């Protein structure tokens, strides 16, 4: 009896273990070795592990992790308990971030394509190849970077191309991600980036997610809100979207709207606030002006001033009935939202990300969300205000603050403004007039030119891609990327860590160091600048992106390009030690003899003062888990961060007695702008031929194009491929069952995908969803390249499509 029972227990334990082992045979082999005391090579034990801080490599939330290192390898990750953002918690991507370094197919050698084949070359040859290609035609060269560039990497690229080559053809993938948020902030407040911060999430009463699924995309922030409920606090979640997601399951209210109806709904809320006289009169009178475009068919960033009376007239047509017709949201629900904003006692946070930004009227929707917060006075108090979220770890820190955009210069400056150019020339010690006043090509235009046959005089013929994967993320990829194949005179240089859709067409591949294989600085969605140190060596000959830029600049200097000299004839990246000995950082063997990040960052720091975005000194960042700018020295040696910008008592730049001061106001009077932006139709609407809406997006397991997360076994097994979400009724009427292969088509392309009915997300009837992480199912060959006229950000969230059961499934 006893024996039987024991055997049963053992047998069942064995069976359970066996099942687990079968599922994860490679992991369990390692596991067995690790726990078997007879094993010859035990895996690292905790006592030998050294730990250090770093911000997570993935999204824009900006969690800190503790990285466990042994024998020059990352062996473990822990949430950093001293980090304000995440307090020791992480999401599943963050817990597995260390594995992103160890995919077997890391790029370790520079590779040049010769006669269609990639051959190994030396770094000297690689750097020389890039330099000579640029020298041949500096004006048709472009850099395509990203919001994953560290601050010094972006800064070096910016200084090299704009300061050195006098060429403004530099744009980041952030153009595809948060360009509309930037123009939204600039249009409403005169200066980019959120005034609020994550602390709001701990004290707000209501959170509105606008086309946003933070349960999967910003899980740490989402938990920060939702976990309050398990402590007995009341926090109301209102999910406004075009599809039910994991966020919806926690929502108290789900308002399903038709694509593009965010334009109508926000105006509808404003209409009721005015009509019911429930807007915040004192806030509006003290702190706001009104704005609209003089010609509404030509939307502009700054528009023209209008009177309150004129605003009332413009908003008058947006009655609940009209908005209900446009949005599909009932009149009662629209009134409910207006009443919510009318309640001065409620503390309301709006969260949004790609649903609002990837929009042909992205700037407008951003302005309109700010508008309803300003109009109702739900702004600038703890727990009360709009918070735009970003998807990349330095979309704010690098792309936005360093200004690695075709029209921008560091610190919120513009290439078109003579005084801004002059300031940069002075800080960079360049001869006056060096900087080019004409904005370069933005992302969509850059790639369109690159993929278009010669003829247009100002074509881009060489692009250097760093830290991103445009082959998978550019919309309408046939037109904007794959057409490169047909242009023999084009040269694509790609710095990356793994083979991607972009390296597929690369002529030169440069193996890059990533994350804790190099020093770095990121900046997250709440203005927090974060620093880390190199902890392990990169594999093979992989090197820092920042070094590559400086090395190419130096080679150009040697080849005699005059722009690589400053006004005193010195190389533009000439740095000296305390005894004035040259550090020669363009030589790889010297690169880590000094802290190049610190040198470049401290050179960059004064640029941030003009727009009062004072970032903290490097040495302060070393001590902190990130600091939110503006960071000012309140006492000698004591640096203080800012939680709520523009609000007296929090923001050191607000004058005493002002209460709220928008000190970079578009209207130059310390006031923010309440915008009228009209509803306009989407760029492409389902019709008879293409009767479905198609939306694209992300999943919790994978980050962006999956080039890192798809090499992490735990994440890849959990989400092995892209899929298409279909409403069960649509599926049944088309004879599609779960798992069937479906052919999805838009006017731009065609793709076969497995159908997932009642799966992760739940689209309404007539609507489809496909995630974009899967390189082998490239959904962006089908998406639209129509973009916002102001921000130039494309709309990945709505286009017309049709589906059918794939012919391979035909019975």
Positions in 198-237 near another protein (CB under 8 A): 199, 201-202, 215, 219-220, 222-224, 226-236
Which CB sits closer to another protein, 176 or 226?
Answer: 226
C-alpha dihedral over 492, 498, 502, 503, to 10 degrees? 50
Least Å from the CB of residue 29 to another protein: 9
CB 183 within 8 A of CB 191: no
Which CB sits closer to another protein, 73 or 275?
Answer: 73
Output the CA–CA distances (angstroms, integers) from residue 362 to 92, 183, 787, in the order listed: 30, 9, 9
Segment 365 to 404, residues that bind another protein, using CB under 8 A: none
The beta strand positions in 627-748, using DSSP E, are 627-628, 632-635, 638-640, 672-676, 692-697, 724-726, 741-746
Which one of 2-10, 127-135, 442-450, 603-611 is the stretch in contact with another protein (CB under 8 A)? 2-10
Q: Is residue 31 at the binding interface for another protein, with CB under 8 A as the rule?
A: yes
| Contacting residue, 290, 618, 723, 769, with another protein by CB under 8 A | 723
Least Å from the CB of residue 618 to another protein: 22
Segment 668 to 707, residues that bind another protein, using CB under 8 A: 700-701
CB 458 within 8 A of CB 452: no
| Contacting residue, 210, 250, 283, 491, with another protein by CB under 8 A | 250
Does the active-site annotation cover 249?
no
Least Å from the CB of residue 246 to another protein: 6
Least Å from the CB of residue 47 to another protein: 7
- The encoded tokens of residue 224 equal 């920060």
Residue 667 CB neighbours (<10 A):
16
Segment 98 to 117, residues that bind another protein, using CB under 8 A: 98-99, 101-105
| Contacting residue, 136, 486, 717, 765, with another protein by CB under 8 A | 717
- Say how far residue 802 (Cα) sits from the centre of its chain: 29
Listed residue (563, 555, 564, 565) closest to 586, CA to CA: 555
Which CB sits closer to another protein, 101 or 408?
Answer: 101
Which CB sits closer to another protein, 359 or 711?
Answer: 711
Check residue 4 and give left, alpha or beta (phi > 0: left; psi -120 to 50: alpha): alpha
Segment 450 to 489, residues that bind another protein, using CB under 8 A: none
Least Å from the CB of residue 1 to another protein: 10
| Contacting residue, 26, 568, 589, 687, with another protein by CB under 8 A | 26
CB-based burial label for 6 (10 Å; 0-12, 13-18, 19+)? exposed
| Contacting residue, 54, 75, 130, 406, with another protein by CB under 8 A | 75
Residue 31 CB neighbours (<10 A):
14
CB-based burial label for 1 (10 Å; 0-12, 13-18, 19+)? exposed
Q: Any idea what DSSP says for residue 800? A: E
Which one of 141-149, 332-340, 656-664, 712-720 is the stretch in contact with another protein (CB under 8 A)? 712-720
User: Which residues, listed in sequence order, are joined to residue 239 by a DSSP beta bridge?
Assistant: 209, 254
| Contacting residue, 57, 96, 557, 613, with another protein by CB under 8 A | 96
Least Å from the CB of residue 779 to another protein: 17
Which CB sits closer to another protein, 252 or 296?
Answer: 252
Output the CA–CA distances (angstroms, integers) from residue 472 to 44, 180, 468, in the order listed: 37, 21, 9
Does the active-site annotation cover 655?
no
Least Å from the CB of residue 38 to another protein: 7
Which CB sits closer to another protein, 63 or 170?
Answer: 63
- Say how far residue 28 (Cα) sits from the centre of its chain: 36
How many angstroms separate the CA atoms of 731 and 727, rounded?
Answer: 6
| Contacting residue, 278, 714, 741, 743, with another protein by CB under 8 A | 714
240 in helix, strand or coil? Answer: strand
Inter-residue long-range contacts of 649-656, CB under 8 Å, 24+ positions, other chains counted: 653/612
Least Å from the CB of residue 236 to another protein: 8
* Maximum C-alpha span of the chain: 94
Which one of 91-99, 162-170, 366-374, 645-653 is the stretch in contact with another protein (CB under 8 A)? 91-99
Does the active-site annotation cover 93?
yes
| Contacting residue, 4, 5, 457, 488, with another protein by CB under 8 A | 5
Segment 615 to 644, residues that bind another protein, using CB under 8 A: none
Least Å from the CB of residue 705 to another protein: 13
Catalytic residue among 62, 268, 391, 706: 391
Counting residues that bind another protein (by CB under 8 A) gives 115
Q: Is residue 806 at the binding interface for another protein, with CB under 8 A as the rule?
A: no
| Contacting residue, 63, 67, 81, 416, with another protein by CB under 8 A | 81
Q: Which residue has the tokens 């066996």?
A: 18
| Contacting residue, 652, 713, 747, 764, with another protein by CB under 8 A | 713
- The encoded tokens of residue 403 equal 């200004």
Q: Is residue 736 at the binding interface for another protein, with CB under 8 A as the rule?
A: no
CB 268 within 8 A of CB 258: no
Does the active-site annotation cover 1?
no
Segment 251 to 270, residues that bind another protein, using CB under 8 A: 251-252
Q: Which residue has the tokens 């809100």?
A: 225
The beta strand positions in 294-355, using DSSP E, are 304-306, 348-352
Least Å from the CB of residue 318 to another protein: 30
Measured at the CA of 258, the angle between CA 252 and CA 259, to 5 degrees, comes to 110
| Contacting residue, 56, 59, 65, 91, with another protein by CB under 8 A | 91
Catalytic residue among 178, 217, 288, 548: 178
Least Å from the CB of residue 66 to another protein: 7
Output the CA–CA distances (angstroms, integers) from residue 33 to 16, 28, 69, 96, 333, in the order listed: 19, 8, 20, 21, 59
Least Å from the CB of residue 346 to another protein: 15
CB 540 within 8 A of CB 105: no
Catalytic residue among 59, 63, 197, 354: 354
* 69: phi then psi, degrees, rounded to nearest 5: -125, 135
Segment 741 to 780, residues that bind another protein, using CB under 8 A: 754, 756, 759-762
Please confirm whether the linkage preceding 257 is cis (ω < 30° from 0).
Answer: no
The mark string for 34-73 relative to another protein (x by CB under 8 A, - otherwise) is xxxxx---xxxxxx-x-x--------------x-x-x--x
Output the CA–CA distances (angstroms, integers) from residue 610 to 13, 397, 420, in the order listed: 65, 16, 10
Does the active-site annotation cover 177?
yes
Which H or E run contains 767? Answer: strand 767-771
How many angstroms separate the CA atoms of 467 and 500, rounded?
Answer: 11
Which one of 20-28, 310-318, 511-519, 666-674 is the stretch in contact with another protein (CB under 8 A)? 20-28
Which H or E run contains 464? Answer: strand 462-466
- The encoded tokens of residue 34 equal 């690790």
Catalytic residue among 66, 392, 423, 793: 392
Least Å from the CB of residue 73 to another protein: 6
Catalytic residue among 56, 66, 93, 162: 93
Catalytic residue among 63, 177, 446, 546: 177
Catalytic residues: 93, 177-178, 354, 391-392
């Amino acid at each position: 009896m006893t024996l039987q029972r024991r055997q049963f227990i053992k047998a069942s334990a064995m069976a359970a273990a066996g099942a687990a082992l079968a599922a994860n045979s490679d992991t369990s082999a390692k596991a067995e070795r690790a726990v078997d005391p007879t094993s010859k090579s035990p895996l690292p034990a905790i006592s030998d592990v050294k730990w250090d801080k770093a911000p997570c490599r993935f999204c824009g939330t900006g969690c800190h992790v503790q990285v466990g290192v042994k024998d020059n390898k990352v062996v473990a990750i822990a949430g950093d308990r001293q980090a304000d953002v995440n307090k020791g918690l992480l999401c599943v991507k963050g817990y597995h971030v260390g594995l992103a370094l160890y995919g077997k197919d890391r790029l370790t050698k520079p590779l040049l394509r010769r006669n269609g084949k990639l051959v190994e070359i030396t770094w000297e040859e690689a750097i020389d190849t890039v330099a000579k290609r640029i020298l041949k035609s500096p004006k048709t060269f472009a850099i395509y970077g990203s919001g994953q560039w560290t601050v010094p990497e972006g800064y070096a690229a910016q200084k090299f191309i704009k300061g050195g080559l006098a060429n403004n053809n530099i744009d980041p993938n952030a153009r595809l991600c948060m360009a509309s948020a930037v123009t939204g902030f600039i249009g409403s407040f005169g200066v980019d980036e959120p005034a609020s911060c994550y602390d709001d999430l701990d004290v707000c009463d209501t959170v509105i997610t606008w086309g946003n699924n933070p349960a999967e995309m910003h899980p740490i922030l989402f938990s920060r809100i939702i976990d309050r409920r398990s402590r007995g606090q009341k926090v109301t979640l209102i999910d406004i979207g075009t599809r039910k997601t994991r966020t919806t399951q926690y929502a108290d209210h789900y308002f399903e709207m038709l694509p593009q109806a965010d334009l109508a709904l926000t105006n509808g809320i404003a209409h009721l606030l005015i009509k019911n006289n429930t807007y915040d009169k004192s806030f509006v009178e003290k702190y706001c002006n009104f704005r609209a475009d003089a010609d509404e068919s030509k939307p502009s960033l700054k528009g023209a001033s209008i009177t309150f009376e004129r605003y009332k007239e413009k908003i008058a047509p947006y009655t609940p009935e009209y908005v209900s017709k446009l949005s599909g949201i009932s009149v009662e629900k629209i009134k409910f939202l207006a009443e919510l904003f009318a309640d001065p006692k409620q503390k309301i946070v709006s969260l949004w990300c790609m649903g609002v930004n990837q929009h042909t009227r992205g700037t407008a929707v951003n302005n309109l969300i700010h508008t309803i917060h300003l109009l109702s006075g739900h702004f600038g108090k703890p727990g009360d205000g709009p918070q735009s979220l970003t998807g990349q770890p330095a979309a704010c820190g690098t792309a936005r603050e360093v200004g690695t955009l075709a029209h921008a210069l560091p610190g919120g400056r513009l290439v078109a403004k003579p005084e801004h150019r002059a300031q940069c020339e002075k800080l960079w010690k360049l001869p006056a007039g060096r900087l080019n006043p004409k904005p370069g090509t933005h992302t969509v235009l850059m790639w369109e030119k690159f993929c278009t046959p010669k003829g247009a005089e100002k074509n881009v013929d060489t692009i250097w891609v760093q830290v991103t994967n445009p082959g998978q993320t550019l919309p309408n990829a046939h037109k904007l990327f794959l057409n490169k194949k047909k242009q023999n005179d084009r040269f694509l240089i790609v710095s990356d860590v793994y083979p991607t859709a972009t390296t597929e067409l690369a002529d030169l591949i440069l193996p890059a160091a990533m994350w804790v294989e190099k020093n770095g600085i990121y900046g997250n969605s709440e203005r927090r600048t974060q620093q880390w140190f190199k902890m392990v060596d990169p594999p093979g000959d992989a090197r820092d992106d920042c070094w590559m830029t400086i090395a190419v600049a130096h080679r150009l200097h040697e080849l005699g390009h005059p722009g690589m000299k400053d006004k005193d004839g010195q190389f533009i990246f000439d740095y000296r030690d305390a005894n004035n000995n040259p550090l020669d950082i363009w030589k790889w063997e010297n690169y880590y003899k000094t802290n190049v990040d610190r040198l470049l960052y401290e050179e960059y720091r004064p640029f941030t003062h003009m727009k009062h975005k004072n970032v903290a000194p490097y040495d302060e960042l070393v001590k902190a888990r990130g600091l939110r700018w503006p960071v000012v020295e309140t006492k000698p040696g004591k640096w203080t961060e800012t939680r709520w910008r523009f609000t007296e008592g929090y923001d050191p730049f607000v004058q005493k007695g002002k209460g709220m001061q928008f000190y970079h106001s578009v209207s130059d009077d310390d006031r923010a702008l309440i915008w009228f932006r009209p509803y306009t139709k989407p760029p492409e609407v389902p019709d008879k031929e293409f009767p479905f809406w198609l939306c694209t997006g992300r999943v919790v397991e994978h980050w962006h194009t999956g080039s890192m997360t798809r090499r992490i076994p735990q994440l890849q097994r959990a989400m092995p491929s892209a899929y298409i979400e279909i409403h069960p009724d649509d599926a049944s009427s088309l004879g599609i069952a779960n798992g069937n292969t479906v052919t999805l088509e838009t006017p731009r392309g065609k793709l076969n995908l497995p159908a997932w009915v009642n799966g992760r997300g739940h689209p309404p009837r007539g609507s489809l969803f496909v995630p974009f992480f899967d390189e082998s199912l490239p959904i962006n060959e089908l998406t639209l390249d129509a973009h916002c006229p102001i921000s130039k950000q494309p709309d990945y969230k709505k286009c017309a499509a049709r589906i059918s059961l794939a012919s391979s499934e035909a019975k």
